[in-house]
Structure 1
Amino acid sequence: MEIGIHYANFTHPDWQARLVERLAETARVADQGGASLFTVMDHWFQMENLGGPAEPMLEGYTTLGYLAAVTERVRLSLLVTGATYRRPGLLAKTVTTMDVLSGGRGLLGIGAAWYEREHLGLGVPFPSMSERFERLEETLLICRQMWSADDGPFAGKHFQLAETVCVPAPPRGRVPVLIGGSGERKTLRLVAEHADACNLFGESPELVAHKLDVLRRHCDDVGRDYDEIEKTVIATLDPLTQREEFLRDMAAYAGLGISLVTASPEGDDPVAWTTTVCTDVLPRLQAL
């Protein structure tokens, strides 16, 4: 099993002066320490459980472009892009640019979006959940078309594009897609139909096993090879302060076919946290 570092909290001591330095050094440590993925959130306001809009938050794709220049190997993604925030053609171009500039290390992590307060606060339409999922699916279709030989029009219910031109193309021909979320009826169905990877909430091995069974049934329904999909989870335990419990859960997840866990730095020093995770915890994960 591999690890991803999810940098969600920018509010560390003296952040007004050291935010960029600390973020960059954490990414470098993750990159050099063997982490497989480095992610930031796609939020414009900080989430309520991390202090809300009064706390610092960076725009996601600008941040990933910066991190592409200070890292060499680690994959880069938002966890996850909100499909409501950008027009799909522009999103495909933005993700492609990040992938090109990082030498093919980009990943399109995407979901339907949920944080109503930042939508209303910044004047972004926040449609119903059903419409957000419709827009998410059209976004996935548009990205697929823009990463294909077809540069013609796209006509959907919510989006109409006259030309799906994307030059230069992603170095690998397309950017892999990860869909975040555990919804059984819509989200996991979209994973089966459109994604290279899923990201589930790691609440318990039992619950994740159930979600993977649902995903397998969706794959059977649409004729998709379940084993083609990379399975990942977000950790709910701190791999340092709850190390043995964390590793027990990860062993159970590995047995279910989970190949990567994302964890967020805890405490005041994300550089030290990430260094210790990569040095002391990652080797034990890789042995699972």
Structure 2
Amino acid sequence: MDLGLHYASFTHPAWDRLLVDRLTETARVSDQGGVAWLTVMDHWFQMETLGGPEEPMLEGYTTLGYLTAVTERIRLSLLVTGATYRRPGLLAKTVTTLDVLSRGRAMLGIGAAWYEREHEGLGVPFPPLKERFGRLEETLRICRQMWSDDDGPFTGEHYRLAETVCVPPPVQRPHPPVLIGGSGERRTLRLVAEYADACNLFGESPDRVAHKLDVLRRHCDDVGRDYDSIRKTMIGSVDPLADVDGFLADMERYAALGISLVALVPAGDDPVAWTTGVCEKVLPRLAEV
């Protein structure tokens, strides 16, 4: 099993002076230590569960562009892009630029978006849930078209593009991997079956994950998609350093279900020390799971 590092919080001691240094060093340790993914959130305001808008938050794609220059191997993505935050053609161009500048390490992680407060706070439209999913699906279709040989128009219910030109193209072929985040059984997992290369589920429990994967398998059967062609990943909420053996035992249960990567958020006040410890004490054993 692989490990992803999800850098969700910038609120560490003396963050006003050390935010960039900590982020940079955490990225370098992750890159050199064998972490597979490095992701940040796509929020303008920090989530209320992590302190809310008063806490620091960097814009996601600008951050990934910076991290491209300080890493060499690790895959870079948002976990996940909100479909309401950017026009789809511009999003495809942004992810393509990240892929070119990283020499083929970008991934499009995407979801329907949910954080109404930051939309209202910064004056960005926040449509009802049904419309957000409609816009998400059209965004996936537009990205797919822009990453193909078809540079013609796109006409949908929500978006109309006269030209889907994308030059230079992505380094990765046929395109950067597309990951859809979330566990919604009716719409989200259906979109995974139709459009995604990977899913990212909440690691609530092995039983819950098994159920979600069973739903995904049924959607794949419905649309004629090879279930095994979709990478299954999850985000966890545990600190593996608190109980390495217990963590690895839990990961064996998830791996048996088909989960091939777990993304974790650094615990404590020092993400560099935490990441160093995980790379030294957990990653070599996790790779054997």
Instruction: Give the TM interval when normalised to the shorter protein.
Output: over 0.9
Task: Please give the alpha-carbon distance, in whole angstroms, between the structure 1 residues aligned to 2:239 and 2:221.
Answer: 35
Count residues in correspondence: 288
Please state how far the C-alpha of 1:43 moved relative to its aligned partner.
0.3
Please state how far the C-alpha of 1:238 moved relative to its aligned partner.
1.3
Task: Please give the alpha-carbon distance, in whole angstroms, between the structure 1 residues aligned to 2:163 and 2:207.
Answer: 46
Q: Is the 8 A contact 2:237 2:265 kept in 1?
A: no
Deviations 1:122-171 (A, max 9, x none): 00111010100000000000000000000000000000000000000001
Please state how far the C-alpha of 1:240 moved relative to its aligned partner.
1.3
Deviating above 6 A after TM superposition, structure 1's stretches of 4 or more consecutive aligned residues are none
Correspondence for 1:16: 16
Q: Is the 8 A contact 1:92 1:143 kept in 2?
A: yes
Q: TM-score, normalised by structure 2?
A: 0.99
1:238-249 alignment, distance < 5 Å:
238-249=239-250
Task: Please give the alpha-carbon distance, in whole angstroms, between the structure 1 residues aligned to 2:245 and 2:264.
Answer: 15
Q: Is the 8 A contact 1:201 1:208 kept in 2?
A: yes
Correspondence for 2:50: 50
Deviations 1:88-126 (A, max 9, x none): 000000010011100000000000000000000000111
Q: What one-letter code is carried by the residue in structure 2 that aligns with 1:151?
A: D
SS of residue paired to 1:261 = strand
Please state how far the C-alpha of 1:243 moved relative to its aligned partner.
2.9
Please state how far the C-alpha of 1:241 moved relative to its aligned partner.
1.6
SS of residue paired to 1:109 = strand
Q: What one-letter code is carried by the residue in structure 1 that aligns with 2:158?
A: H
Correspondence for 2:263: 262
Please state how far the C-alpha of 1:246 moved relative to its aligned partner.
2.1
Task: Please give the alpha-carbon distance, in whole angstroms, between the structure 2 residues aligned to 1:123 and 1:225.
Answer: 41
Task: Please give the alpha-carbon distance, in whole angstroms, between the structure 1 residues aligned to 2:18 and 2:182.
Answer: 32
Task: Please give the alpha-carbon distance, in whole angstroms, between the structure 2 residues aligned to 1:74 and 1:30.
Answer: 8
Correspondence for 2:124: 124
Task: Please give the alpha-carbon distance, in whole angstroms, between the structure 1 residues aligned to 2:164 and 2:149.
Answer: 10
Correspondence for 2:215: 214
Please state how far the C-alpha of 1:283 moved relative to its aligned partner.
1.2
Please state how far the C-alpha of 1:9 moved relative to its aligned partner.
0.6
SS of residue paired to 1:168 = coil
SS of residue paired to 1:237 = coil
Please state how far the C-alpha of 1:244 moved relative to its aligned partner.
3.1
Task: Please give the alpha-carbon distance, in whole angstroms, between the structure 2 residues aligned to 1:284 and 1:182.
Answer: 28
Deviations 1:19-40 (A, max 9, x none): 0110010000000000000000
Please state how far the C-alpha of 1:192 moved relative to its aligned partner.
0.3
Correspondence for 2:100: 100
Unaligned stretches of 5+ in structure 1?
A: none
Please state how far the C-alpha of 1:249 moved relative to its aligned partner.
1.6
Correspondence for 1:195: 196
Correspondence for 1:282: 283
Q: Is the 8 A contact 1:112 1:132 kept in 2?
A: yes
Q: What one-letter code is carried by the residue in structure 2 that aligns with 1:161?
A: L
Q: What one-letter code is carried by the residue in structure 2 that aligns with 1:54?
A: E
Correspondence for 2:136: 136
Please state how far the C-alpha of 1:236 moved relative to its aligned partner.
2.0
Q: What one-letter code is carried by the residue in structure 1 that aligns with 2:211?
A: H
Correspondence for 1:40: 40
Task: Please give the alpha-carbon distance, in whole angstroms, between the structure 1 residues aligned to 2:247 and 2:241.
Answer: 8
**Percent identity at matched positions?**
76
Please state how far the C-alpha of 1:54 moved relative to its aligned partner.
0.3
